[in-house]
Amino acid sequence: MSTDQKRLLLIDGHSMAYRAFYALPAENFKTSSGQPTNAIYGFASMLINLIKEEKPSHIAVAFDVSRKTFRTELFPEYKANRASTPDEFRSQMSFVNEMIDCFGIKHFEMEGYEADDIIATFAKSAEKNGYQVLICTGDRDSFQLVNSNTTVLYPKKGVTEMSRMTPDAVLEKYGLTPAQYPDFAALRGDPSDNLPSVPGVGEKTATKWISDYGNLEKLLANAQEITGKVGDSLRANVEAIKLNRELTQLLDDLDLKVQIEDLGWLGFDSNLMSNFFEKMEIRALKERLKSLPQAGGAVTKEVSIKVSEISAEEISKLLDKHTKPIAIAFDYEDETLLGYSVATSNTEVYYVQGSKIGEWISKPQLAKYVHSAKVALKNLGLSGVQSDIELLAYLCNPGSRNLNLSDLAERILGKVANSEDLFSQFDPKQAAWIFELQKELSSEVKSKGMISLYEDLEQPTLLLLSQIEEIGIAVDQGKLNQLSAHFTKIVADETAMAHKEAGHEFNVSSPKQLQVVLFDELKLPKTKKIKTGFTTDAESLEWLAGKTKHPLLKHLLRIRETSKLMTTIDGLISAVEPDGRIHTNFQQTVAATGRLSSTDPNLQNIPIRTEEGRKIRDCFTAQSPYQDLMTADYSQIEMRIMAHLSDDKGLISAFESGEDLHSTVASQVFGVKKNEVDAEMRRTIKAMSYGLAYGLSSFGLAQQLDIDPASASELMGKYFERFGGIRDYLKIVVEQARELGYTQTILGRRRYLPDLNHENRQRREIAERAALNAPIQGSAADIIKIAMLKVDSKIRSENLKSRLLLQVHDELILEVSPGEHEILSKIVKEQMSSAYELKVPLDVNIGVGKSWDLAAH
């Protein structure tokens, strides 16, 4: 091997793994069992980039063994200020070592020394043997190793952008040579290593001294020449400076028992690497690896994507006889189509600028892969959707908050959008990425047993949601405006009364002014301490009102409550479109349990339990030619699912009796006849039954019922005596989730809960509550989606004009056409009650009326 081919790449393992760990959000890089992989992913990505760009012939990675080294013997406080290593990082280090083995790279560590010393030793030996040396590290002490043959690659951002620290680069940045750098560092100190600086001596002064005197030894020998306070400080800290200098010096003579020639790199082991990435559930790097040499094999070229810009007419002609699936990426700006790209394979892409689109978009026989199809379904007449990438990704990891196409492509395929071209901010290659993502995500959904959940439930729900969003729901704008004026007056009146009680005017919305009035002027009891004083949130005001009965608090609470209603009403008024209807946007990939949410505006948070909330619901009406609204919801669906999952005979029997569930359960728990159960007993049992399904503790129950914890614990004991099946189920569901890393609904929808094994008790308990709740709430979400699809399908097959408008948690809202009340009621009841066969009947309540409120039952 000739001299110019001998390039040794040395990597500081812990330093770069730490950088990778903090550069990538841990919540986006986890296996399905909850194992964090962000450091593993980042380190592998960095290795691929370095090898590809630097083309080293030899590679070694050095690691620290522990914080106990010869330096801590000299200076026990060395690095003592560093925080303890996060568990999420520590758990990845054995996998980082395993991955380095799969790369075919040797790694080293030595008791009593740091990775820097191993690197310095290798670097010095390699220089003597005519190698070019590259050192990749985040430790600036390595700058002392820089010379004409050795360059330090110092990370500027994460592990992707590196500064090349050559002798000129060090001189330019610090005004010193690499040999002078450790002298400068000894004066400056190093907060990251807990090395003290010389008081009053900054970097500029340190640089000037070393530059003027040539090195630290000469500076200290002539320390008496330095005048002023800095001179006094220098002379007073000579011993600390000498110790700093000794600690900063890297050792380059360790006995590593290995020759530089032994570090030769021939390529990665494709089988080992493939199995490792499979285990770590890392897909994005597989394609990028192909650009590197394989041990015993050649370099495989990365797949190149060909992009052609053509007209809307040309793409229509091209797709006219096309029979295989295509992938489409849309370029939107506020739902306005600016252009689109069509991929006929993962390497062939056609880009069309503008909003013109051919009839092929609506042909159901032409199968299409898309990302976030709903806008195109509503606005472009999209048909034939075979896969929605966003939905597939959501099923694979329902807890993820980053389901954008660019995020998925980077995370799963290792692709980064290039917007620096004639296609503006839109990268046409995204259509080809959709092809690859569809393959990867479909395979994962299938391997997790959720393909039926996707094909039979989630995708049909997506199509139905696009239809009901387009239909919208009518509102009486006059009534909404009247309500807005009514609530505005209430707020004004209550504010005036609050001012009267306080004795002066103040801003009732200002926490700071409220604190002054309540705690300084009125001397009311202090609430919970927060950064800005004492909290004045609604809960605290309610506590104060109960404790002091001060009339001001009644007015403040009324203002809060009414202002909240005003915000809801103003949001509704602004959302009314020219057709007199509100078209909400249903979110299908937000709630980790599978429930739908609603935005712009949120129609799922309109109050139902208060008289004023019902007045808002009364503004939602049937619009001519439709006659009425119909509401249909499940009675106690979550408790029915609890009965089904727990197989508790007592609870099943209570449902089968057809009597009021909470009264029946209360009679058994309190040991009284059913007709002796009073309202308080029923309320107590209802709170506990639902609370248990949400992981309520005896302490939580005590707070909810305003009783002492001992009484709450006794009450729970009595409950479980009668309903042992529930107790056993609640225990086993958490144990199973802890073992598997996830929970499942009755349809196999998974929710991953990595914090079930977290050492932090608070995080562990939150995950345990989620493990109790997810199968129940998730199963309820599955069932209402099935019901929604069945109802809509039956309405269509019966050729009814009535139509589905909304889904609000466990309730469906429909618009009834004249003469179809009876048949629609029958269809809705039959389809909802038969949505899924539980061990107890699904009970459906139906109501009809001119408005949403009047249709309540």
* DSSP assignments along 246-309, one per residue: HHHSPP--------GGGGB---B-HHHHHHHHHHTT--HHHHHHTTS-BTTSPPPPPPP-EEEE
Q: Do residues 130 and 6 make contact, with C-beta atoms less than 8 angstroms apart?
A: yes
Structural domain range at position 826: 632-637+780-849
Same domain, residue pair 381 and 435: yes
- Alpha carbon distance 243, 405 (integer Å): 53
Q: Which two tokens stand for residue 781?
A: 């979400």
Mean pLDDT is lowest, of 162-166, 246-250, 811-815, 844-848, for: 246-250
Please report, rounded to a whole number, the percentage of residues in the chain having pLDDT higher than 90: 51
CATH code, 319:
3.30.420.10
Which of 234, 263, 292 terminates a domain? The answer is 263
Asked whether residue 788 is domain-assigned, the answer is yes
Same domain, residue pair 789 and 699: no
Same domain, residue pair 692 and 840: no
- Alpha carbon distance 78, 69 (integer Å): 9
CATH code, 812:
3.30.70.370
- Alpha carbon distance 439, 65 (integer Å): 42
Which of 263, 282, 315 terminates a domain? The answer is 263
Gyration radius (Cα) of the chain, Å: 34
Quick check: helix, strand or coil at residue 65? coil
Asked whether residue 562 is domain-assigned, the answer is yes
Total structural domains within the chain? 5
- Alpha carbon distance 501, 555 (integer Å): 9
Tens of pLDDT along 317-356?
A: 999 989 999 999 999 988 889 999 999 998 999 999 999 9
Asked whether residue 670 is domain-assigned, the answer is yes
Supply the angle between the helices 761-797 and 724-740 in degrees, to the nearest 10: 100
Tens of pLDDT along 57-80?
A: 999 999 987 767 667 666 676 555
The confidence score (pLDDT) of residue 299 equals 47
- Sign of the torsion formed by the C-alpha atoms of 691, 696, 697 and 700: negative
Asked whether residue 393 is domain-assigned, the answer is yes
Closest CA to 280 of 33, 19, 14, 48: 33
Mean pLDDT is lowest, of 212-226, 374-388, 510-524, for: 212-226
Work out the average pLDDT over 75-90. 68
Q: Do residues 38 and 20 make contact, with C-beta atoms less than 8 angstroms apart?
A: yes
- Alpha carbon distance 835, 787 (integer Å): 5
Position 158 confidence tier, pLDDT thresholds 50, 70, 90: low
The confidence score (pLDDT) of residue 422 equals 46
Q: For residue 101, what are the contacts with CB-CB under 8 A and spacing of at least 6?
A: 107, 272
Give CA separation, 554 vs 104, 169, 560, 562, 564, in Å: 72, 68, 10, 12, 16
The single-letter code of the amino acid at 292 is L
Same domain, residue pair 409 and 311: yes
Q: For residue 441, what are the contacts with CB-CB under 8 A and spacing of at least 6?
A: 387, 389, 392, 393, 396, 412
Asked whether residue 768 is domain-assigned, the answer is no
Q: In DSSP terms, which residues pair with 387 in a beta bridge?
A: 369
- Alpha carbon distance 209, 195 (integer Å): 19
| 3: pLDDT strictly greater than 50 | no
Please report, rounded to a whole number, the percentage of residues in the chain having pLDDT higher than 70: 94
Same domain, residue pair 477 and 377: no
Same domain, residue pair 551 and 417: no
Q: Which two tokens stand for residue 89?
A: 């990082």
**Distance, C-alpha 48 to centroid of its chain:** 26
DSSP labels, 654-674: HHHT-S-HHHHHHHHHHT--G
Same domain, residue pair 38 and 120: yes
The confidence score (pLDDT) of residue 303 equals 65
Asked whether residue 394 is domain-assigned, the answer is yes
| 692: pLDDT strictly greater than 90 | no
Most confident of the ranges 170-184, 298-312, 827-841 = 827-841
Position 631 confidence tier, pLDDT thresholds 50, 70, 90: very high
**Distance, C-alpha 281 to centroid of its chain:** 17
Q: For residue 161, what are the contacts with CB-CB under 8 A and spacing of at least 6?
A: 155
Closest CA to 691 of 701, 681, 699, 683: 701
Alpha-helical runs (H) found in 531-633: 538-548, 551-575, 611-617
- Give strand ranges (E) for 707-800: 742-744, 750-752
- Alpha carbon distance 765, 772 (integer Å): 11
The confidence score (pLDDT) of residue 298 equals 47
Mean pLDDT is lowest, of 114-128, 170-184, 382-396, 560-574, for: 170-184
Work out the average pLDDT over 662-673. 88
Which of 263, 292, 320 terminates a domain? The answer is 263
Same domain, residue pair 485 and 539: yes
The single-letter code of the amino acid at 721 is E
Q: Do residues 780 and 428 make contact, with C-beta atoms less than 8 angstroms apart?
A: no
CB atoms under 10 Å from CB of 819, counted, come to: 12
Same domain, residue pair 478 and 555: yes
Position 807 confidence tier, pLDDT thresholds 50, 70, 90: very high
Q: How many residues does the chain have?
A: 857
By DSSP bridging, strand 326-333 and strand 336-343 are antiparallel
Same domain, residue pair 158 and 16: yes
The confidence score (pLDDT) of residue 256 equals 87
Tens of pLDDT along 165-190?
A: 999 998 898 888 888 888 888 777 76
DSSP assigned state of 425: T
Give CA separation, 154 vs 64, 164, 215, 228, in Å: 18, 7, 24, 37
Closest CA to 569 of 476, 493, 655, 652: 476
CA triplet 541, 544, 547: central angle to 5 degrees? 150
| 419: pLDDT strictly greater than 90 | no
Same domain, residue pair 479 and 441: no
DSSP labels, 176-242: S-GGGHHHHHHHH-BGGGTBPPPTT--HHHHHHHHHHHSSHHHHHHTGGG--HHHHHHHHHTHHHHH
Same domain, residue pair 38 and 151: yes
CATH code, 109:
3.40.50.1010
For the beta sheet containing 844-849, the strands, ordered from the edge strand earlier in sequence to the opposite edge, are 803-808, 811-816, 628-634, 844-849
Tens of pLDDT along 449-503?
A: 999 999 999 999 999 999 999 999 999 999 999 999 999 999 999 999 999 999 9
The confidence score (pLDDT) of residue 78 equals 59
Closest CA to 132 of 117, 144, 122: 122
Work out the average pLDDT over 789-795. 98
DSSP labels, 32-57: TT--B-HHHHHHHHHHHHHHHHH--S
- Alpha carbon distance 341, 105 (integer Å): 41
| 247: pLDDT strictly greater than 90 | no
The backbone torsions φ and ψ at residue 572, rounded to the nearest 5 degrees and listed phi first, read -70, -45
CB atoms under 10 Å from CB of 514, counted, come to: 21
DSSP labels, 133-172: EEEE-S-GGGGGG-SSSEEEEEEEETTTEEEEE-HHHHHH
- Alpha carbon distance 113, 212 (integer Å): 33
Asked whether residue 708 is domain-assigned, the answer is yes
The pTM (predicted TM-score) of the whole model is 0.70
Asked whether residue 229 is domain-assigned, the answer is no
CB atoms under 10 Å from CB of 522, counted, come to: 16
The confidence score (pLDDT) of residue 11 equals 95
CB atoms under 10 Å from CB of 515, counted, come to: 19
The confidence score (pLDDT) of residue 318 equals 95
Average pLDDT, the chain: 88
Q: Give the position of tokens 């976030």.
A: 372
